[in-house]
């Protein structure tokens, strides 16, 4: 039935489910979705929908307004929700109305942003700031909440997340944050160079390598790279070589030592000490004869007796017995034989030898060498020595002046 009233002039509401009563017009079976009251002549109030407006619009609908028939949100969803009836929350990483925006991805501990407004509720990851954690730390800052300051030793600022220096460190500093001064003995960019081994304590200034405590002995200049000039040595090159090194060599620039020994007449590592009295020659290893005039010492270089010899000796070093001295030795020994025939014969033989020795000038050089070997032994003549000399008379010659 579609008409009611006595004259059947009124139409039943088209929103009735199964027509209406022909007298009262009341919908039989209730109203279609979105309508209410007996005659189904009123649209559901905003916020309600379905049959007889029995259901409430989703609170996730914008303005909580939905289609009165099926509950579809008229103005879309509140932030954080999606689907036609805004019944599904945004998936992780999205937010805003209808989940149309993506989170920035910089929330602390990689947590997702708030699905409604996109904010990072627990703060930002290191290196970012702002409610949405979408801003890098300002220049000169880094880390959580951008509260840490970049090292002043960075060359070109630092990374906004970890603080690592972008262009490396200034001279004298090292590590990623350029927060540590070079270790002792190192300098230059990133501590890449080693202080000169000639620096005292091997310690140098961290920027250009200037030796802080000066140089080790034997070196000079700010970085101790230059050896002392020839003739000087030691601390600050202020000491002078002795000048008595062998072969006109200069001394060691560090120690002052004469590495190849001394000239004759000097000894010691520095060759700065003259030979002790009674010694001469290379490294003072030679001993004076002890026969210089009035017991004076010999020359420390040559061994010569500069003031002459004792009466019994001759030669530059007074190492040769005179003729009369040797004859006197023989005489004293022969006298001890109590004038025997053997003694007279021996005296005669010695005189012949002496005569022949003086006459044979051509053998003088060889006689000098033999005499030197004899005298340098510094043997004191005794009767037994004379006997021995006599027995060797054909083979041994003495220098007699």
Q: Which of 284, 279, 258, 283 is nearest to 269 (CA)?
A: 258
Q: What is the mean pLDDT of residues 92-101?
A: 85
> Phi, psi (5° rounding) for residue 352?
-60, -40
Place of tokens 């954690």: 133
CA-CA distance, 266 to 246, in Å (whole number)?
A: 10
Per residue in 246-302, pLDDT (tens digit) is: 999 999 999 999 999 999 999 999 999 999 999 999 889 999 988 999 889 999 999
Per residue in 325-351, pLDDT (tens digit) is: 556 555 565 555 545 555 556 556 655
Per DSSP, 56 falls in state E
CA-CA distance, 319 to 300, in Å (whole number)?
A: 16
Per residue in 9-26, pLDDT (tens digit) is: 678 888 888 889 888 889
CB under 8 Å, gap of 24 or more: what pairs does 55-60 form? 58/85, 58/86, 58/87, 60/85, 60/86, 60/87
Q: What is the mean pLDDT of residues 307-329?
A: 80
Q: What is the mean pLDDT of residues 71-76?
A: 88
**pTM for this model (two decimals):** 0.47
Across the chain, how many H-helices and E-strands are there?
4, 28
Q: Which helix (H) or strand (E) holds 365?
A: helix 364-376
Concatenating the DSSP letter of every residue in 321-352 gives E-HHHHHHHHHHHHHTTTT-HHHHHHHHHHHH
Per residue in 193-242, pLDDT (tens digit) is: 999 999 998 889 998 899 999 999 999 988 898 999 999 999 999 999 99
Residue extents of the structural domains in the chain: 321-391
Q: What is the mean pLDDT of residues 344-364?
A: 53
What residues does 358 pair with on adjacent strands? none
8 A C-beta contact, residue 397 and residue 363: yes
Q: Specify the pLDDT at position 351.
A: 56
The mean of the pLDDT values for the chain is 81
């Amino acid at each position: 039935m579609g008409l009611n009233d006595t004259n059947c002039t009124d139409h039943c509401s088209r929103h009735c489910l199964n027509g209406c009563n022909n007298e009262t017009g009341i919908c039989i079976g209730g109203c279609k979705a979105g309508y209410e009251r007996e005659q189904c002549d009123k649209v559901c109030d905003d916020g309600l929908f379905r049959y007889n407006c029995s259901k409430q619009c989703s609170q996730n609908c914008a303005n909580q307004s939905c289609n009165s028939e099926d509950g579809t949100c008229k103005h879309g969803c509140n932030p954080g929700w999606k689907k036609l009836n805004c019944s599904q929350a945004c998936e992780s990483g999205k937010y805003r109305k209808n989940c149309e925006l993506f989170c920035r991805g910089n929330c602390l501990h990689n947590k997702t942003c708030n699905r409604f407004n996109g904010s990072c509720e627990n703060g930002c990851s290191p290196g970012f700031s702002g409610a949405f954690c979408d801003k890098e730390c300002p220049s000169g800052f880094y880390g959580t909440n951008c509260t840490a300051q970049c090292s002043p030793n960075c060359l070109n600022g630092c990374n906004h997340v970890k603080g690592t220096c972008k262009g490396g460190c200034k001279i004298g500093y090292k590590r990623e944050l350029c927060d540590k001064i070079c270790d002792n003995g190192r300098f230059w960019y990133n501590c890449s160079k080693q202080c000169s081994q000639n620096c005292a304590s091997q310690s140098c200034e961290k920027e250009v390598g200037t030796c802080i405590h000066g140089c080790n002995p034997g070196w000079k200049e700010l970085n101790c790279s230059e050896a002392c000039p020839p003739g000087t040595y030691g601390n600050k090159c202020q000491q002078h070589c002795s000048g008595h090194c062998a072969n006109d060599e200069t001394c060691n620039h560090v120690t002052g030592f004469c590495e190849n020994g001394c000239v004759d007449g000097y000894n010691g590592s520095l060759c700065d000490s003259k030979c002790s009295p009674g010694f001469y020659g290379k490294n003072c290893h030679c001993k004076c004869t002890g026969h210089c005039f009035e017991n004076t010492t010999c020359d420390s270089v040559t061994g010569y007796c500069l003031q002459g010899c004792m009466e019994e000796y001759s030669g530059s070093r007074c190492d040769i017995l005179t003729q009369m001295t040797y004859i006197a030795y023989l005489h004293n020994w022969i006298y001890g034989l109590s004038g025997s025939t053997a003694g007279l014969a021996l005296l005669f033989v010695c005189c012949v030898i002496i005569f022949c020795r003086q006459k044979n000038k051509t053998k003088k050089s060889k006689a000098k060498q033999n005499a030197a070997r004899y005298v340098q032994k510094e043997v004191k003549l005794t009767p037994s020595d004379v006997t021995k000399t006599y027995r060797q008379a054909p083979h041994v010659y003495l220098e007699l002046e």
